[in-house]
Structure 1
Amino acid sequence: MTRKLYYIDPYQMDFESKVIKIDEDERGFYVVLEETAFYPTGGGQPHDIGTLNGVKVFDVEEAEDGVRHYTKEKLPYGVVNVHGSIDQERRVDHMQQHSGQHIISAVFHDQFGIPTTSFHLGKDTATIDLDTEHLNDDLLKKAEEQVNKIIRDNMPVETKWMSVKEAAGYPLRKPLAVDGEVRLVVIPGIDYNGCGGTHPNFTGEVMAVKFLGWTKNKKQVRLEFVCGQRVLDKLGQKHQVVTGMKRIVPKPEHQLVEEVYEMIKVSKEKDKRIAELEEQLLQHEAREILSASQGERVIQRFFKARSIKVLQSLGKAIIEEASNAYLILVSEQDHQLQFVLAHGADVNRNMNEVAQQILPLIEGKGGGKPNFVQGGGKKVIDGETFAERVKALL
């Protein structure tokens, strides 16, 4: 089995090792080494990435034959030794997030009686599932303060290999799921946990923790958070957003939310008024069309760039007054034709049947109620010709 240097020194980012095996499986080419500093996926922590002799390592997994390093290309035939290099930024980030999670889970469990049931370390944020159905702002504030105090206290983070029997002598929060030797991660007086992940030597290296919010997840809650450099990254992102907002809304930061809310409220009121005026215009247009039709059996109109929604509204307004007429409304878009076919209350005909006869003309789709259908398709013929073809059917 591969000797795991990341357990000996999690800060070791470069190493030399002998090649044991070069092979290929469904994931691609992989290399097994005599010893490695690459951490494989496990325990909620993603794998390291880096290079072997300059060849990119994109995945690392533990298998029966040792730790497999999956490479973008196959290492040259006959290579005996390799130089491995870990992506330091990713490794340190994972150490910060994972150790931060240990502290967060410890505080929620010990201070508030809420155990953690699962942990996920994502690319941008991390989450834990907590065995409770609700969190409140006051509890979150207190928990976050406690977590950051432990970080500032710069307490040691120790790792110890021991038997399961020996581990039982520590105040573990949950029973160990392994036999034989177990690796215990210990923050004295704070956390005692069986864990195979990488961690810094002191809590101060976690830098800080910020809770980002929570959502319900079945009968539990999922708490989202960031630690370490990710806190600064999030702060930078939010600062950019706020700075951009202040250019648009020249108000102090603490007034931005209220000001934007008022702007949205005013905008919605304007949209509502515009919609009412547009409806009035459509009603007026419908009356003009009815007046101009002078009792025609088929009322037919062609438009440019009018939406199907407008056609539907106009069509309904016309048909309400034209009880014994057919209606054809057609609109040309850039590369499409859209239409409404309808008839008044005194006409007995299923317009779906008419639509099915004319839809092949535009390779289209459509349907609706027997007295009112809508549809659209490709503009393979012009709108006026299409309308005339429909009129001929009626």
Structure 2
Amino acid sequence: MENKNKLYYQDPYIQTFKAKVVKQEKDPTGNWYVVLNQTVFYPTGGGQPHDLGTIANKTVMNVEEIKGEIRHYLEGPIDDTGKEVRGTIDWDRRLDHMQQHAGQHLLSAAFDNLFGYKTIGFHLGAEMLTIDLETEHLSQQQIEDAEALANQVILENRPIETKWVTEEELSQFNLRKETKVKEDIRLVIIPDFDDNGCGGTHPRATGEVRAVKVLDWERQKKKIRVQFVCGNRVVTQLGKKQTVLLELTKILNAPEKEMEQAVLRLLETNKTLEKAFEQTQGKILHYEAKNLLGKRIQNERLLVCEVFQNRSIQELQNLARIITTEDEAAIVYFVSENDKRLQVVCARGQAGTESMKKVIASVLPLIDGKGGGNDLFAQGGGEAKISGEQMLQQLLEIKG
């Protein structure tokens, strides 16, 4: 019943093989591919990514099953298609996919057997896997119980069997979910634990999965997405996290067990410092406002004008608000030269009648600027096509 040309089903541990080229063509996008009379290369499908490797010393970029044929996309065409070619898969990648896929079966079956939570989605990524559980609620204890059960079955090193069956024969098995296909049905069976229709590659026994470790989970609409790793990825993740943790113990000068408290203390200290800085900054701005009011220009209008270097628009706005609150008759024109840009703030107190919105609109075209505001307060910015002093002079010449 199984397709004889799919060597990865006959033995997923085959790494090299010889085959004849049945076809070599370009697809509509211009990519070369070959079809062989038999192959070890697994095509993308069933949630499992394709194999990589070489065929006739050409790098295999992608493998897809299209219109009943397995297409091996290569970096370029094979020179001599008339002779037998040799293929080799990237074994580390294949073994990783086998471990991850079998581990997913174990974890999904554990959630199903313990709590009746069905897996309705599965993704095997480059670094981690996810399954989507058909439930809106999940607890830490349930995660730990499912993980422990999956790892217990791994420790027992139960065989992982594959069997090709007909639709009529399915009633003999306790399937975790209905099969999508109706013929050439392939079951992956872990005795007394899980029967599941699957077209992926798996190891011979659960022990080769090594371990399953849940990393995180989150609620997504009416399902729970669980993030986890299996096999060699568990060791890799531990190594990465341990490296980060050791660096943090040095930086924070705290042992691993006290890391959380050390970070919390640091965050609390940072909040305190930020609050103190804001208060100090506020006091400095008030002193600066009083100093600027002392330099105001008194004529038919009470003007407070200044050109600054590298001041944020937020600082200029705060400073202008303080001044117009202190003196309701004041008009404030602030310009800041920031690298190759000019920032402009115009404000007036409640006693004035001028429209700051109109003032800013009249000068922004000089710097190809954008901005806006209202009669009391307006701001904008643009390219430094003129100097800050020239901009200030333009503002002073405007009649309200």
Which TM-score band (shorter chain)?
Answer: over 0.9
Give the secondary structure class of the aligned counterpart of 1:312: helix
CA distance in structure 1 between the aligned counterparts of 2:88 and 2:375, rounded to whole angstroms: 71
Q: Which residue of 1 aligns with 2:23?
A: 21
Unaligned runs of 5+ residues in structure 2 are none
Q: CA deviation at 1:26?
A: 4.0
**2:250 alignment counterpart:** 247
Displacement of 1:18 in angstroms is: 0.8
CA contact (8 A) 2:41 2:52 kept: yes
Query: Aligned partners of 1:360, 1:304: CA distance in 2, in Å?
Result: 21
Q: 1:221 to 1:318 in 2, by over 3 A?
A: same
Say whether the 8 Å CA contact 1:2–1:33 is kept in structure 2: no
> TM-score w.r.t. structure 2 length?
0.95
Matching of residue 314 in structure 1 with residue 314 in structure 2: no
Structure 1 match to 2:395: 390
Q: Secondary structure at the match of 1:179?
A: coil
Count of residue correspondences: 394
Q: Does residue 1:91 correspond to 2:94, yes or no?
A: yes
Query: Residue 138 of structure 2 aligns to a residue in which SS?
Result: coil
1:35-50 equivalences in 2 (<5 Å): 35-50=38-53
What residue in structure 2 maps to residue 232 of structure 1?
Answer: 235
Q: What's the CA shift for 1:78?
A: 4.4
Shift of 1:79: 5.1
Change in CA separation of 1:75 and 1:375 when aligned onto 2, cut-off 3 Å: farther
**What residue number does 1:3 align with?**
5
Aligned to 2:156: 153
Question: How far apart are the structure 1 equivalents of 2:58 and 2:182?
Answer: 37
Letter in 2 for 1:358: V
With normalisation by structure 1, the TM-score equals 0.96
Tell me what 1:108 maps to.
Answer: 111
In the TM superposition, residue 86 of structure 1 has moved relative to its aligned partner by 0.9
Alignment partner of 1:393: what SS? coil
Q: Structure 1: where are the runs of 5+ without partners?
A: none
Equivalence for 1:171:
174
Q: Aligned to 1:291, which of 282, 291, 294?
A: 294
2:328 is aligned to 323
Once the two structures are TM-superposed, the CA of residue 5 in structure 1 deviates from its matched residue by 0.9
| Closer, same or farther: CA 17–68 of 1 in aligned 2, 3 Å | same
- Contact residue 32 and residue 65 of structure 1 kept, 8 A: no
Structure 2 CA distance for aligned equivalents of residues 84 and 348 of structure 1: 84
Give the fraction of aligned pairs with identical amino acids, expressed as a percent. Answer: 43
Distance 1:198 1:116 in 2: 19
The alpha-carbon distance between structure 1 residues 33 and 276, as it changes in their structure 2 partners (threshold 3 A), is same
- Letter of the aligned partner of 1:18 in structure 2? K
> Counterparts of 1:30 and 1:53 in 2: how far apart (Å)?
12
Letter of the aligned partner of 1:217 in structure 2?
Answer: Q
> What is the Cα deviation at residue 377 of structure 1?
1.7
Partner of 2:350 in structure 1? 345
> Does the residue aligned with 1:36 lie in a helix, a strand or coil?
coil
Give 1:307 deviation, angstroms. 1.1
